[in-house]
């Protein structure tokens, strides 16, 4: 990690800057695949699955027998862990449900808002170097609670056409059975436009590499909603003299092992702690199976020594991390100063990995600085909030002067007439 001591504010942009890549050529490649999916449906989907995943079969949808087989392949301890996580995620998201509250803005004028589940949603779960069955829980459970009528899941198969058994077990456990062997851009295109086998959806959720992210952004231009803009995963940590250097190193590595393009940022108030963390990183790296990926991520990341917690929080709010760990003696108080972050982990015993898996909060979060304006996925992500109003005859009479005056002032006489004609008919 690059050590920076007491940087001046003019140098902060260099510390918090994310990697920037030219996506022009990428977008052209992705658009070509999306156009092919739109025109040729299943045939194109099978072609790209052969090309990118090596699966030569023709079966796109996972069969009921495969769900049963997957369950038999899993260690009972992992099944229990998935059920524990699912239960906690369900509890947290069920608590986000709200009953409509009727507001009488003036006598005879009643207004309310109700949540209605998005009818058709698509969940994308990457395969690649890590089968993210935990992400399926994070997306599938709130979709079910929200009342989405059709929930489909796409994930890339291996060369034999198999999906990871933990993914199939988790899908079956929470009640999702429309699962398709499709990955990458072709999966996003299939869910966006529909094929003979894969239903089209109204909103697409889920993480992915640069190709998947680009595909989501392009189909959004075609009117398909997506969960949020997303980039490589990231964590920022603020630590003081009470922090354990070994804990901090583990937290940084838990994020760095996601991939070479992941970002970690450690901000400390003591240089001695920074040195201790660097040594712990070296020690822990030796034992990591994904050491190469983590080392590349760390090489592009920063370790910053700040003279005060106030300045440290200012820097972290400017960074707007996906995950923010506060490993300080006053962590709870500092958490109230957080303005920009996807999810906050408070205190020495709240590692970011618990939020990734089982605490109950959602781990699908804004990255790349989008936490300045976006929230993470929640129950609200799977619903539309529809507003309603109901007026009595007396209510219309009371509000009519304001509506008519405003409509006429804007030159919209038909708007005014829609009110006045009712008054005339009901005198």
Q: Is 233 annotated as a binding residue?
A: yes
Q: Is 319 annotated as a binding residue?
A: no
Q: Average of pLDDT values for 110-123?
A: 98
Q: Average of pLDDT values for 179-205?
A: 98
234 pLDDT more than 80: yes
Q: Average of pLDDT values for 31-56?
A: 97
pLDDT band at 131 (very low <50, low <70, confident <90, very high): confident
Q: Is 209 annotated as a binding residue?
A: yes
pLDDT digits (tens, 9 = 90+) for 346-359: 999 999 999 999 99
Q: Is 393 annotated as a binding residue?
A: no
Domains, the chain, with CATH or none: 2-19+232-360 (3.40.50.1980), 24-226 (3.40.50.1980), 392-425 (1.20.5.1300)
CA 218, CA 216: separation in Å to the nearest integer? 5
385 pLDDT more than 70: yes
Q: Is 275 annotated as a binding residue?
A: no
What integer pLDDT is reported at residue 129 of this predicted model? Answer: 62
What integer pLDDT is reported at residue 258 of this predicted model? Answer: 86
pLDDT band at 128 (very low <50, low <70, confident <90, very high): low
Q: Is 186 annotated as a binding residue?
A: yes
261 pLDDT more than 90: no
pTM: 0.93
Q: Average of pLDDT values for 192-219?
A: 95
Active site residues: 322-323
pLDDT band at 425 (very low <50, low <70, confident <90, very high): confident
pLDDT digits (tens, 9 = 90+) for 9-29: 999 999 999 877 677 889 999
């Amino acid at each position: 990690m690059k050590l920076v001591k007491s940087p001046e504010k003019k140098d902060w942009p260099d510390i918090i800057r994310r990697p920037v890549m030219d996506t022009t050529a990428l977008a052209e490649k992705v658009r070509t695949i999306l156009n092919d999916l739109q025109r040729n449906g299943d045939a194109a989907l099978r072609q790209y699955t052969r090309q990118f995943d090596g699966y030569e079969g023709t079966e796109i949808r996972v069969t009921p027998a495969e769900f049963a087989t997957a369950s038999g392949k899993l260690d009972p301890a992992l099944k229990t862990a998935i059920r524990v996580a699912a239960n906690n995620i369900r509890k947290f998201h069920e608590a986000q449900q709200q009953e409509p509250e009727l507001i009488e803005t003036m006598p005879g004028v009643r207004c309310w808002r109700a949540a209605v589940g998005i009818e058709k949603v698509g969940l994308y779960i990457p395969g690649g170097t890590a089968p993210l069955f935990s992400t399926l829980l994070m997306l599938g459970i709130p979709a079910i609670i929200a009342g989405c009528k059709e929930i489909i899941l796409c994930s890339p198969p291996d060369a034999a056409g198999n999906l990871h058994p933990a993914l199939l077990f988790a899908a079956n456990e929470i009640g999702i059975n429309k699962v398709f062997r499709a990955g990458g851009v072709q999966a996003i295109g299939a869910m966006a436009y529909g094929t003979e086998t894969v239903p089209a959806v109204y909103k697409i959720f889920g993480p992915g590499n640069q190709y998947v992210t680009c595909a989501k952004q392009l189909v959004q231009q075609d009117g398909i909603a997506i969960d949020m803009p997303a980039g490589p995963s990231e964590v920022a940590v603020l630590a003081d003299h009470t922090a354990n250097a070994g804990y901090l190193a583990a937290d940084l590595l838990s994020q760095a092992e996601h991939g070479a393009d992941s970002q970690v940022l450690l901000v400390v108030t003591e240089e001695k702690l920074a040195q201790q963390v660097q040594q712990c990183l070296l020690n822990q790296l030796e034992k990591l199976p994904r050491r190469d990926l983590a080392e590349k991520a760390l090489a592009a990341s920063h370790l910053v020594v700040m003279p005060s917690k106030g300045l440290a929080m200012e820097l972290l709010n400017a960074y707007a991390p996906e995950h923010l760990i506060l490993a300080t003696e006053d962590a709870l108080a500092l958490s109230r100063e957080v303005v920009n972050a996807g999810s906050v982990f408070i205190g020495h015993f709240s590692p970011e990995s618990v939020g990734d898996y089982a605490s109950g909060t959602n781990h699908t979060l804004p990255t790349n600085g989008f936490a300045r304006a976006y929230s993470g996925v929640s129950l609200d992500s799977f619903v539309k909030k529809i507003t309603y109003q109901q007026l009595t005859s007396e209510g219309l009479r009371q509000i009519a002067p304001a509506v008519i005056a405003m409509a006429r002032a804007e030159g919209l006489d038909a708007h005014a007439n829609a009110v006045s004609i009712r008054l005339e008919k009901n005198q």
